[in-house]
Chains A and B, each alone.
Chain A
Amino acid sequence: MLSMFLALFLVTLISATILGFVYEFTKDAIAESRAAKQTEALKKVLPPFNNNPVQEMYKKAVDGDTLYFFPARKDSALVGIAVNTFSPKGFSGMIRIMVGFLPDGTIRDVAVLEHKETPGLGEKMVRSKSDWSVQFQGKNPKTFKLAVKKDGGDVDAITASTISSRAFCDALERAYKNLTEGGAK
């Protein structure tokens, strides 16, 4: 009986110790690869900048989650704001998108950060899978209605993925609304 517990205890102890080391070892690399993804998305959706938007980041809690705003400056003049926005209405849950706005509210570009949409369908919102999201470039939500055409908006939905497309618009709309309400600084 005792040897039984001892054996199981030892196995667990050794495993946990090894895992602790592996965790310590990979922790920085994981944090780095996450940060790299964010920086990459920022560079993609914002016009050229030379400040550090991550340092000037501010948050706003809405609809049970958080929006992150990254102001981009070139020689201290504001050239755009990127918003890390979200929609819980994706086909399989949460979608997070980085969207870059120019100071007048025009969308410069979008980049999907996180999604669990169906491969081959909703997944097309990611630029590497299809050019669907190019349609948002250079559109100003003031005149361009962020909703799929089926719902009376101006967005072409992804074929057979209306739900994913709706969620995408929902996320952009949330970013735009809070950007203008928060007073575009």
Chain B
Amino acid sequence: MLAIYKREMRAYFTTPIGYIFAAIFLCLSAAVFSYSTIYQLSADTSTYFTVMVFSFVILLPLLTMKTFSEERRSRTEQLLLTAPVTLTGIVCAKFLAAFTVFFACTLLSSLNFLILYTHAQPETATILGNLLALVLVGMAFLAVGIFISSLCESQLAASVVTVAVLLLFLVISLANSLIDVAWLRFLLNGLSVFTRFQNFTRGIFDIAAIFYYLSLTAVFLFLTVRVYDRRRFS
């Protein structure tokens, strides 16, 4: 498992994809941050976090699109499948590698907040809560991306489908204004990643949301394992 993790990490940074991701992520976060706080002379970070969550829809598929589709296309998956490693090990290693890159970028971009402290008294607890939620949403999105990559043989297809699915997850509750059925609205609100994320930007630490994000991650990683398990039988 460690071997696969190391190879994935290496692959991110011997191909341009890791650098492209880091560059876009850091530039975007810096730009959004300076615009939403410094230019506005405000210590309110809710706009920043909202924009970042939306940017994940486009950014995170960059990290996940290759994970399984490329292995399948070049038939290197046979090497992994015949090695003494479990399927869960393979999936987790790939997930952890993508998560490491994502997490490192999030940490780096969090240095932005230090600037706030030199000029204002931002609410540290809110910022930390938001950061945690941001990382967890990222985790869930990566898991979704990996799952979709395991279904596709082409990177491009994987990335396009992932973007679509992530967007759906994020904004599914927008359909609520068109729906009269109360229980359906409740369900869509529950499924929406963004509705739950808004609680954090309002300064509420939503335990249920944290569980929701973690469950999403676990479910999609499990589904990825199942995809491979199923394929052996078909």
- Asked if chains A and B come from one complex, the reply is no
Spell out A's residues near B (CB within 8 Å).
Answer: none
Spell out B's residues near A (CB within 8 Å).
Answer: none
